[in-house]
Structures are given as structure tokens and as C-alpha cells.
A and B are shown apart, each in its own frame.
Chain A
């Protein structure tokens, strides 16, 4: 028998090794040298595309928005990442994809608004490097949905309803003749006395309803209080001067005072000139009111409503003519000036309660008790919440964390 020749396998092996080595060398030689080559700047900077592009309906709207989210490209690391921007593309009703929004590197979310409920939309997101780009996979076509109820505001509705029901309950109780106790509020007890002073001195009353228009709740409060004050003024037959800063307020005030005089049985004593429009300009109005104060020297000045920086100017000028001043506003920043310069100040809530208080009507007073229910709820919730939070956080008492979370969730607002 003849033997195989022993030299073949090693040679084959050597040939294979030489083949690999020579290929490596060839590849190494054909790769351009990044350090020295003049062609380095135009090399393609490849990027990976964004992934997991998801489109979902934007909640609790009228079917006009969609939310787009994605995982940023793996090449998007700030700083030093290759991605310079993202571009969102959208196709409407399976039409052409058009760019709609450019976003910065690091973005992973986009809210597309002003859409139509009846159309279908699909999206893709493209990551751009300096000179290259990569598209994500497109999403399936989706239509925005309309939600009929703001479910996330459910608790707001519940709490507001509870307090409103409390208001209704006390109004009904008042109608039935139940005695409702309301404590005395100094500033409001002084109204009659202040008007009486004007009668004694034979000087007019000045009523300033703030400088905002009828679309502000404080102005509404001022107009409702005017109704009460005007009634007393009509009875005493004194002069009212009411310069206003807004035309609508002028109309509302005239209506209010006119009917107060009619109800008092003195329709002929009323004159439209009691209420005069000055100017919409904040400080122009103040300049004019200051002028009225020093020239006509009213005995009583009411500063009720929305005021800004001019609060102190008006109050101090009123002080300089020794008028008795009753002020009230719901702007916390202006309250200190009224407190410092006026005889009586209605603080925040007291301004909104004033008209009900002055009317003395049981139905109106009932609404004040409803406000108290709200304050009571606030106090109770705060105490329970703080105790629960402290026990949960400091001593890990079981169940307290759930109480704390529940209370914070219920009182969170959208």
C-alpha cells in the first residue's frame, strides 16, 4: 500500500494563512488615512435612525391632537453625538409625507395639534447628522379621537360640586327661616357710618370700582357692592361721584345706581352724570381721580375692586383730604398699601362677601356659610394630609402613604 504525502496539509494551511494576511493588508492599505487625507471632511457621518416611534391620541381634547414619541437614535449622545437635529414627517390621509417640525438633538416627543378628527395621519422621524440621515419606520395611520369628558378633572368637579351643594343647602335653610349667624366684619359695619358722615358734612361720596373691566371678578364684586351703597345713598339723598376707567363699567354702574334710586322712590334725583368715563389709561385715570379728590373733597371714598400700583396713590391722596376710606381688593400685592393708608380694608374673600353681607338677606348670607364649608374642607384636608404625609414619610406607618397619595392626587389640578 502507498502512504499519503505528509507535506500537503501544512502547505494548505500556510496558503490559507497567507491569504488572510494578504487580505488584511490589502484592506488596511485601501482604507483612507483619517489623519492625513484631504478628503476627511466629506466622509459620510452615518447615524442610526430613531426607533420605537409610537403615535397615540392626545387625551381629553376635541380630537385635534396626536402625541408622537420615539427612542432617540443611539448616535444621539449630548455632547459629542452625531445627531444635529430630528425632523418629523407627516402624511395626511395617506398622501405625501411632508416635514412638519424640526427638533433639537435629545428630543423624544412631539405634540401635533390643529388636526382634523376625520383624517388619518402617519408619521416617521428622521435623524440628521452633518451630511447624512436615517429614517425611522413609519407609524400605521391613526385618527385623533375626541373625548367627551375631561376625566382628569373629575375630582375638581366633585370638590366644586360639594361646595356648591353646601351653598345651595344653606340658601334653602335660610329661605326656610333658619337663623344664620355671620360675624361682624368691621369694614362693612362702617359703610353706613361712612355714608352718614358724608350726609352730615354735605359732601359727596367717591366710588372707585377699580381699573379693570367687567371681565374681572373683582369689578363684578365692586358693582354688586355699589348696588347696596347706592341704595343707602339714594335714601340719604347725597351726591355720588363715580369716575370710571372702562366704558362697560360706566354702563353697568349707571344701570345699578339708576335702579337703586328707582327702588328708593327717588328716580328724579338720579342723573347719568353721577358716573363718568375718564380714560382707559391706568395713570391718566389716577391723575384725574386725584384731581377730583383734591378739588371736590369727598367725605367718603370707596376703593373697591382690582387695583395695581396706583392703589397707594389713590389711598394716600384720599388720606390727605381727610376722607374716610373703605378699600377692598383681591390682589394680595396691593392689600398692604390699603391697610397702611385706609381706615378699613376688606381682605380678599371679604370683598366677595361684602355685597351679600350688606344685603342682610338670608339667601345671600346662606352663600357665605357655603364659603365657610369650603374653608372647613380645606382645613381638614390639610391637617389630615400633613399628618398622613409625616407618618408615612418619617415613620413609614402603613396605609398613611396611600392616604397622602390619594389626597395629593385628588387636589392636583390640570
Chain B
């Protein structure tokens, strides 16, 4: 059985890789299998996790007993019926005459996503990043834990230059994103510095992930030549 599984995996692997050469029947077959089986997989998982796991057991909680044999079943969560009601409204889309009511759960979701993440993104992306950028450039007066005295500690040149670079980078990056002014003159020059920093950021991400992408390929090659064909041990 395992042998069959390895063969199936190998043939599907080669089918996908063949796409790099050009679209062909083998790829189309692998793609069709991928789509069908994965769609079914996720439906089953979502059904058991959400419909059964969250909704059904929330509304009709299973009986539970503690060590002494007393009933400690959780109370049913009637709020979940709201979710079910909205879900049923969504299905009304199938009936043309009242299909418009499916906009209600859609509106609910849009409002929900917008409301949930507004403060969240503002706090973590704006406030926290601003706070992190406020720092002394040249030195610190840390308190010595044993004596309680504060002694001036100059930052090494490496850190001073680095902190100045961060300051210039964040400032010019924000200038680049400014919508209300044309990128001309001094403003434009600062925006150019900003895009320079952004390109360095993108290049760093790019370079950072290249190695991990290569290792993914090595993994597949190892499977094909090692596990399947047995050529590599």
C-alpha cells in the first residue's frame, strides 16, 4: 500500500513539474486531482470543525461529568443561532426572488472585519512602530543595578550610524507614501531617498527567502531520486 502511495506521489510530483516545460495532459490531470481532492478535503474539515465542532456542540452541548459524577454540562450558547441564521440568509442567494437578502450577512461580515481590525492594525502597525522608532541617537544613562547609579554610556559608532539610518529611512519612507504632495523639489528628493530604502527592504526580503525556496526544491529532488527511485540513500 505504501509502495502505491509513493508511486502516486511521484507521478503527481512529475506532473506538476512538467508545467515548467509547457501545459500538458499530465499537468492537467494532476491539477484536476489536486482541485477535486483538496476542495473535498477542506469541505470535510470545515464541516466537522465549524458546523459540528463549533455550532452543533455549542448549541447542543454534550453531557459532561466531573470526577465526582456531577453533571457539569456547559450551558448552550444561543448566540450561535445568530450565526446560523445569517448562514441561512446567505443560502437564499439560490432563490432569485429573495436573493437580495444575502446582502445582509455580507454586510455583517464587512462590518465585522472592518471593526475588528481597525484598532488592531492601528495599534500594532502605527502606534507600536512609531514608539519603536523614538530612541536616543548618541548614548544612554542606564542605571547600574548594583550601585543604583546612572552612568553615561556612549553608543558605539555602529549603533549611532544605524539609528540615524533608521530615522532617515522611516522618515523618507513616510514622505514617499504621502498622497497630498507632488514628488517635486526637496519633497521629491526625500521621496527618492524613501524609495531607495524601500528597495533595500524588498531586496533583503527577496534574498532572505531565496535560500528557503531552494531547499524546497532539494526536498522534492530527494523524494524523487531517493524515496521513489531509490538512487540516493
Using a CB–CB distance below 8 Å, which chain A residues touch chain B? 156, 159-160, 163, 180-183, 185, 214-217, 220, 248, 251-252, 255, 278-281, 283-284, 287-288, 290-291, 294-295, 332-333, 335-337, 339-340, 347-350, 353, 368-369, 371-372, 374-375, 378-379, 381-383, 385-386, 389-390, 392-394, 396, 404, 407-408, 411-413
Contacts and interface: CB of A to CB of B under 8 A. Distances in A.
A142 to B, nearest CB: 25
Interface of B: 16, 19, 22-23, 27-28, 30-31, 34-35, 38-39, 41-42, 46, 90, 93, 102-103, 106, 109-110, 112-114, 116-119, 121-124, 126-128, 130-131, 133-141, 152, 154, 167, 170-171, 174-175, 177-183, 198, 201-203, 205-206, 209
Q: DSSP class of B's interface residues: helix, strand, loop or mixed?
A: helix
Given A287-B35, A288-B35, A290-B19, A393 B202 contact: no
A220 B134 CA distance: 32
A393 B140 contact: yes
Contacts of B118: 160
Nearest to A288: B35
B113 A214 contact: yes
A375 B177 contact: yes
A285 to B, nearest CB: 8
A215 B126 contact: no
A172 B108 CA distance: 26
A29 B121 CA distance: 75
A389 B134 contact: yes
Given A181-B180, A278-B35, A280-B38, 10 more contacts: A160-B122, A214-B110, A251-B90, A278-B39, A283-B34, A382-B133, A385-B133, A386-B137, A408-B131, A411-B127
Nearest to B216: A309
Contacts of A350: 177
A228 B140 CA distance: 52
B113 A252 contact: no
Contact of A217 (B31, B117, B126, B138): B117
Contacts of B206: 336-337, 340
A311 to B, nearest CB: 11
Nearest to A333: B205
Nearest to B137: A390
B122 A251 contact: no
A305 to B, nearest CB: 13
23 contacts: A159-B122, A160-B118, A181-B180, A183-B180, A215-B116, A216-B113, A217-B113, A279-B39, A280-B39, A281-B38, A281-B42, A332-B201, A333-B205, A337-B206, A340-B206, A368-B180, A369-B180, A378-B130, A378-B174, A386-B167, A393-B136, A393-B138, A411-B127
A163 B131 CA distance: 17
A372 B174 CA distance: 9
Nearest to A279: B39
B17 to A, nearest CB: 12
Nearest to A411: B131
B113 A392 contact: no
Nearest to A371: B179
B42 A279 contact: yes
Nearest to A378: B130
B128 A413 contact: yes
B95 to A, nearest CB: 14
Given A183-B183, A291-B23, A294-B23, A215 B112 contact: yes
B34 A287 contact: yes
B177 to A, nearest CB: 5
B19 A368 contact: no
- Smallest CB-CB A-B distances: 4 pairs: A385-B134, A281-B38, A393-B136, A336-B202
Contacts of B126: 374, 378
A371 B174 CA distance: 11
Contacts of A368: 179-180
A160 B119 contact: yes
A396 B151 CA distance: 12
A219 B78 CA distance: 30
Contacts of A390: 136-138
A255 B23 contact: no
Given A251-B90, A335-B202, A215 B179 contact: no
